[in-house]
Amino acid sequence: MSAHQCILILVCFLVSCGRSQAEHPLQPAVDIARQCQRSMRESIYDYTCTIVRRERIDGKLGQPETIFAKVYHHKATPERDNEPVSIYMRFESPEEVAGREVLFCNIDEDAKVLVRKGGTRLPFLTLSLDPLSRFAMRGNRHPITEFGLRRLAERMAEQGEAEIRNDGCELAINDQAELEGRACKLFEVTHPVERAHFKFHKIRIFIDTALNLPVRFESYGWPKHEGDEPPLDEEYTYNNIRLNVGLCDRDFDRNNPEYAFAR
């Protein structure tokens, strides 16, 4: 999921609109992206949130899904220089997926994702899956391995730096935007001309000015005919964000009595 949803997504796409790294007027944005990435690693250890996501899968736009999530970032050790992440998700709506639970921790290289199906058919079926497998990806545009602000920030900053020489975009910034009562800054990036290396026609990213975090991401494909509205490919809205709440091992234990994996 994505996911699919962070200020550094903006940076990635912004830097894909430039001329060359030496002359690109948005190079300072890349620098800010790296600074933001370092700040997140130093100051955000865990968080909970509610995500409302909507994704186009196999050409069909699905219903909005509401998901409660917990995320915890493990510290690096002498034996492990990366920082694994533990993730728990519980789907709350719509009815077809309500009660689905997902648990993942990538401390081990062969880490599996634990999925309790939920929904209306075989709701208590629990499977241990390769996170990149066909079954794990069913109904998702992005694998759980790409979930989380830190990982997404790192990947998008790197990709942005690699794509800084591409041309052809328009940028609009609204410093006075609002999203569900929250003061935000809105970035809208558009590729007017469709090209093979562009992955989207338009994206819109809302940054909560109080939290300095992304709270909504929208991506649109190219319209089939001139004058048509661009089709929505994916959107993610983050609500009820709580940072550094003190999550612990119990929050990512399949035997937690609050979860239904063991039932």
pLDDT of residue 257: 93
Higher pLDDT, 119 or 30: 119
pLDDT of residue 215: 84
pLDDT of residue 206: 85
Q: Is the pLDDT of residue 62 over 90?
A: yes
Strand partners, 66: 52, 93
- 137-188 pLDDT, tens digit per residue, is 998 999 998 887 676 666 556 655 655 566 667 777 888 999 999 999 888 8
Structure tokens at 176: 């006075």
Q: How far apart are CA 211 and CA 146, in angstroms?
A: 22
Which string of b and e fits 154-167 if b means at least 16 CB within 10 Å?
Answer: bebbebbbebbebe
Q: How far apart are CA 198 and CA 195, in angstroms?
A: 6
14 neighbors 171 (Cβ within 8 angstroms): yes
Instruction: Enumerate the H helices of the chain as residue ranges.
Output: 7-15, 27-43, 134-137, 149-162
Q: Give the range among 24-38, 82-96, 119-133 with minimum mean pLDDT.
A: 24-38
pTM of the model: 0.83
Q: What is the mean pLDDT of residues 184-199?
A: 82
16 neighbors 10 (Cβ within 8 angstroms): no
Percentage of the chain lying above the pLDDT 90 cut: 42
Instruction: Break the chain into its structural domains and give their ranges.
Output: 7-252
pLDDT of residue 158: 63
Burial-class residue 187 by CB neighbours within 10 Å (0-12, 13-18, 19+): buried
Of all helices (H) and strands (E), which one includes residue 236?
Answer: strand 232-243
Evaluate the CA torsion angle 70, 75, 76, 78 in order and state its sign. Answer: negative
Local confidence band at 5 (pLDDT 50, 70, 90 cut-offs): very low
CA distances from 130 to 33, 108, 117, 171, 256 (A): 31, 12, 15, 39, 22
CATH class label, 7-252 = mainly beta
- 214-254 pLDDT, tens digit per residue, is 788 899 999 988 889 999 999 989 899 999 999 999 999 99
pLDDT of residue 248: 94
pLDDT of residue 21: 43
3-class DSSP state of 30: helix
Q: Is the pLDDT of residue 130 over 90?
A: yes
pLDDT of residue 18: 45
Structure tokens at 33: 């992206």
95 neighbors 120 (Cβ within 8 angstroms): yes
Q: Give the range among 63-72, 199-208, 249-258 with minimum mean pLDDT.
A: 199-208
Q: What is the mean pLDDT of residues 87-93?
A: 96
pLDDT of residue 24: 52
Q: Is the pLDDT of residue 80 over 80?
A: no
CA distances from 52 to 49, 107, 184 (A): 10, 27, 18
pLDDT of residue 240: 93
